[in-house]
A and B are shown apart, each in its own frame.
Chain A
Amino acid sequence: MNIDELRDHLCGQYPDLCPLFSIEFGDGTLQVECRGLYDAAADLKSLGFDMLGMVTAVDRGEHFEMVYRLTSREMSVGMFLKCLVPRDKPHTRSLYDLWPAALWQEREVYDLFGIEFDGHPDLRRIMLPEDWVGHPLRKDYQDERIIKRPDYI
């Protein structure tokens, strides 16, 4: 499977994707709803994306944006898989059973963002002590221990 077949396949499957979807330079992005995340991931895995590079989240104000970075070794190309997660009671499906690499990365996202992952074997804090309150990487995280660097550039 080379890159063009991949493109046609994806364009066929996700119609709104087609106009400006480029994969060569490694910044191709596939945006899906939260519900369809697991199926899209499984589909991509079957297409040849056998390595899950990165799992992270970005606090976009009124919702979180989950960003997955998938790499295919035989096509030697990388791709983004993104989905939006609502801010109140954020939860999404864990990709552990597709790629075990997601085990610790999802724990880290849970620890720093507070996004629950259903189906994750042991979802607990990984970076912060057990008794930590709050999720620091959220933009609205209040903590009296943080001393803000003055806005002086």
Chain B
Amino acid sequence: MDVRPQVSNEYSEGIAGVVERWKSLATGLSITLGRAMGPHKTLSYPAEKLPMTARWRGSLHLNGILGHDEIEVVRSQAPEYNGIIAGLYAEERLAPCVGNCPANVDARGQNYYMADDRPVEAYELVRERNIMPGVLGRICHHPCENACRRNYYDEPLAIRPLHRMAYEAYQENKPALSPMPVTQDKSVAIIGSGPSGLAAAFDLMRLGYKVTMYEKEAKPGGALYSGVPSYRLPREVLHGEIDDLVALGLELHCGVEIGVDVPIDHLMGEFDAVLIAVGLQVSRLLPIPGTDADGVRGALEFLRESNWKGDAGVKGLRVMVIGGGNVAVDVARCALRVGASEVRLACLEASEEMPCHPWEIEEALDEGVIAMCGQGPEKVLEQDGKVVGMQLRECLSVFDESGRFSPKFGDEYTTVDCDVVVFSIGQAPLLADLVGGSDLMLTDRGLLPVDGEVMTTDVPGVFASGEVVTGPGSAIASIASGHEAAISIDRYLQGHDLFEGRVARPVPVYDRYQVATVEGVEESRRRVPMPMARPEERATDFRQVELGMTHLEALNEAARCLRCQTGVCVGCTFCARTCPDYAISVDRIDDPGERKVTHYDLDLTKCCFCGLCAEQCPTDALRHTGQYELSFYQRDLMIFDRDEMLRDPAGTRSTGRDGIHPGDSGGEA
């Protein structure tokens, strides 16, 4: 029933008007009498106090402060790790960088140790999750930095270079490595020494299993050794870290090809569990005319030859690379280094939509690679069996509106003459001889049927992980699937059920911020730039491209970390910058080993309780309390210093320092 206004604006005339007038006096009295009879709605203040709503913006307090509280670091055995990460995410204490990394590397913990000049502990902490900090510090595509909250303020943390700095500092004062104790009677065989195999091996060794690894190549490392060129990943770093793993108790047999030298059934019988981590061996070619001509190469073979022998037989020739992914860019840059006279790269996507990482294609273009974007391969021109050119067709769009890969081609053709064509449009595993004779079955397309979540194949006791399961992806993604496989193997060997009580890795969603512009930002907040070798000089040989930071630069960079969601204030001063009344003044000591926020003064007389600071505080340290009784006798007590800010947030009174008892109301009720 919708109450409409019934009172008319004018009284009626004559006697009726007089009656209405006296009636209006009577209605007035009856309303007040009615209200007087009703219950009172008063809050008898000192005795009963209103509970504050969850969002009430009372006086501010700090949950913790650097130098007074410790930063929590996420360390645990593999099986419990996902549970801890999911718990942190549920309580909103998971930093965006840790959450966004496929392997949930505790980058926040690493920055904390690096800032305190404890690189060895930083290295060991990171190694627990990404096995080879030195390697990953050079080749990882750092999803952590994309999620870093500092993007919103100025520039993200240089987390990947800090992995590398931790590795270099670790090498200088490396502790003696002794094999981990074997506490379980069960043993595990791992086929393939790629990143996922090594990750599973490391986890299982920490759980006390006896791990034996077989690698068919002469040197371990899998795709890292064969696929990644040495100007991005020097060989001694890769093999150094794998040697550390061997020193930790990994039994490694190189040059043994399972399925050929040793049948897989033999392994299945001898070991309690077998993990197939062989990765992708063969590059796919396109079914277009002319691919059988001489001079058409696959990407992986080309990379293997250029990486191992330093010469892929293209000296002085013109090379055309087909494909837009990271592997294609590596092929192009290797081609330059092994003496190709001219290297072109053709990909379907437009220049800004290329699947490879933006900084990769930039470095390649600097070094002289010519990119031809939006061009699809049509056919290989050949003359008596030898490649002489390549016909490309203009590609309008790559994905249809629902996001599926269905390229639409225009009708404009361009022909490019070249001597060698390298196809880098996809890779496939080579499993035929590996599983020959065993009861492992392959699908019609030559793939292993694997349950993506628990990494089991159809044969009990045989697991698979890495790119053979997930398809072409990043090194850190393979490592993540290696961890999952280790968890499954551990559950299988302990006899637990694979699914029951298993926590999947949470895929966190964070507020998406626009990357801040950096002009006008003072120097101390900027990111330490990673020095690069000059393009023309680095294009000629396989020496390391990124030259690495100095030790002091690493410490400064680590000090920039905001320690998101730890509830410990690191003195990042963004609350002071956001405050409209300039009521907060913060300063901190940054020298390593003595990292402290020395002063944190909130001038309560200037604070306008608008909540802007607490909203954007990256570490959730600055929070509003439910305290609203803010009466003081002296004005200088109203400036809360560091200790006053760390007061207990409960109760309704902010401070009892001038004789007023917190919690009680002064006068008797």
Contact = CB atoms under 8 A, between A and B. Distances in A.
B634 to A, nearest CB: 22
A142 to B, nearest CB: 21
B582 interface: yes
A149 B577 contact: no
A143 to B, nearest CB: 19
A152 B576 CA distance: 8
A149 to B, nearest CB: 5
Contacts of B577: 152-153
A15 interface: no
7 contacts: A149-B582, A150-B582, A152-B576, A152-B577, A152-B582, A153-B577, A153-B578
Contacts of A150: 582
Across the A-B interface, the 3 shortest Cβ-Cβ residue pairs: A153-B577, A149-B582, A152-B577
Q: How would you classify the secondary structure of chain B's contact residues: helix, strand, loop or mixed?
A: helix
B308 to A, nearest CB: 55
A150 B584 CA distance: 12
B619 to A, nearest CB: 20
Contacts of A149: 582
Interface string A109-153: 000000000000000000000000000000000000000011011
A6 B582 CA distance: 49
Nearest to A153: B577
A152 B522 CA distance: 11
Contacts of A153: 577-578
Interface string B579-619: 00010000000000000000000000000000000000000
B579 to A, nearest CB: 9
A13 to B, nearest CB: 43
A153 B578 CA distance: 6
A31 to B, nearest CB: 32
Contacts of B576: 152
A32 to B, nearest CB: 37
A128 B577 CA distance: 31
A152 B520 CA distance: 11
B600 to A, nearest CB: 15
B588 to A, nearest CB: 16
A153 B582 CA distance: 10
Interface in B563-578: 576-578
Contacts of A152: 576-577, 582
Nearest to A147: B582
A79 to B, nearest CB: 33
Interface string B650-667: 000000000000000000
Interface in B298-318: none
Interface in A75-108: none
Interface in A4-45: none
Nearest to A150: B582
B613 to A, nearest CB: 13
Interface in B538-586: 576-578, 582
A153 B577 CA distance: 4
B574 to A, nearest CB: 10
B518 to A, nearest CB: 14
B328 to A, nearest CB: 44
A152 B521 CA distance: 10
A66 to B, nearest CB: 30
B12 to A, nearest CB: 35
B617 to A, nearest CB: 16
Contacts of B578: 153
A153 B613 CA distance: 12
Nearest to B576: A152
A70 B309 CA distance: 80
